[in-house]
Amino acid sequence: MNTLSIVIPALNEAENLPAVMASIPFAELKDEGWDTEVLVVDNGSTDGTGDVARTLGARVVSQPARGYGNAYRAGFGAATGDIIATGDADRTYPFDALPRLLRTLVAHDVEFMTTNRLVGGNSEAMKPSHSLGNHVLSAISRTLFRNDLRDSQSGMWVFRRYVWQRLDVRSTGMSFSQEIKNAATRAGYRYVEIPIEYRKRGGQVKLNAFRDGTENLRQLFEHHLRRTRPVLRPAVATAGREYTDRGVAVQGYEGV
């Protein structure tokens, strides 16, 4: 069996976790050859998030130092799967799409997959101010890092665990999301961006658009000036796939 770790950061998401866990297609993943574990990172919750996660069958990782990046560092450090998939605990990300995303990752030999929420049909799930901020930050990120990613802020990724072990990612907060994408693509890992469905959030919105947007902007320029050592790997030549020093261009992938 292939091994998959689903890492979910959670801060006071007890009310959302039952729906999130129910959306993970464990049976389909098993049928397709995936031995799956779910890690919920309790990021200093006060509503019993960790206890709820345990009753639902998740392995709970405690990270009292709050911050999106801090939570992911703890989760990735505890993950045992060869492949790591992520998504928030607020019901916005389509965990039910994981079998299709994994098929694309394997079929095209992708090392780092990210997702694009900024596509038609998702507008009602995101506040206009947040949508505008995402578009602006993504445009700046594309300009600085030249990786053509349309959604630099998406929090759903599927990647090979060794990629994380070799990246220099420093953000402790929300800017972790853009930094891990830009670090992976700049280092030369084979990557692809897949459109996904984005859903309305359950519970309280925790994002502070001005504060987090300002910090993300600062981090983009700091990261752009940082030196990055490119990854070294044997040359790959596979019929039907186009590899470049900027990643992998996937043609005819299965949309989600």
Inform me whether the pLDDT recorded for 241 exceeds 50. no
Q: How many CA atoms lie within 13 A of 183 on its CB side?
A: 20
Q: How far apart are the first and last CA of the chain?
A: 24
- pLDDT above 90: residue 1: no
In tens, the pLDDT along 101-151 reads: 999 999 999 999 999 999 987 777 788 888 899 999 999 999 999 999 999
For residue 234, the model assigns a pLDDT of 42
What is residue 208's predicted lDDT score, i.e. its pLDDT?
Answer: 67
| pLDDT of the residue at 103 | 98
pLDDT in tens, 242-254: 333 345 545 444 4
pLDDT at 230: 60
> What is the band of 209 on the pLDDT scale with cuts at 50, 70, 90?
low
* CA angle, 103 then 32 then 189, to 5°: 35
Helix (H) or strand (E) holding 196: none
* Mean pLDDT score, 78-102: 98
pLDDT at 254: 41
The beta strand positions in 90-147, using DSSP E, are 112-116
pLDDT of 124:
76
Residue 42 has a CB neighbour count (10 Å cut-off) of 27
Residue 151 burial (CB count, 10 A):
25
Residue 76, pLDDT above cutoff 60: yes
Answer for the pair 238, 190: CB distance below 8 angstroms, yes or no: no
- Looking at per-residue pLDDT, the higher value among 38 and 245 belongs to 38
Least confident of 86-95, 111-120, 225-234: 225-234
Using a pLDDT cut of 90, give the percent of the chain over it.
77
Give the model's confidence band at 212: pLDDT under 50 very low, under 70 low, under 90 confident, else very high: confident
Q: What is the pLDDT of residue 237?
A: 33
Kindly state the average pLDDT of the residues 60-75: 98
For residue 17, the model assigns a pLDDT of 98
* Pairing between β-strand 34-42 and β-strand 59-62 as defined by DSSP bridges: parallel
* Segment 72-92 mean pLDDT: 98
Cross-strand bridge partners of residue 42: 10, 62
Strand partners for 60: 40
Characterize 64-88 residue by residue with b for buried, 16 or more Cβ atoms within 10 angstroms of its Cβ, and e for exposed: eeebbbbbbbbbbebbebebbbbbb
Q: Reply yes or no on whether the pLDDT at 240 is more than 60.
A: no
- Averaged confidence pLDDT in the chain: 89
Sign of CA dihedral 209, 215, 218, 220: negative
The phi, psi pair for 62, rounded to 5°, reads -90, 130
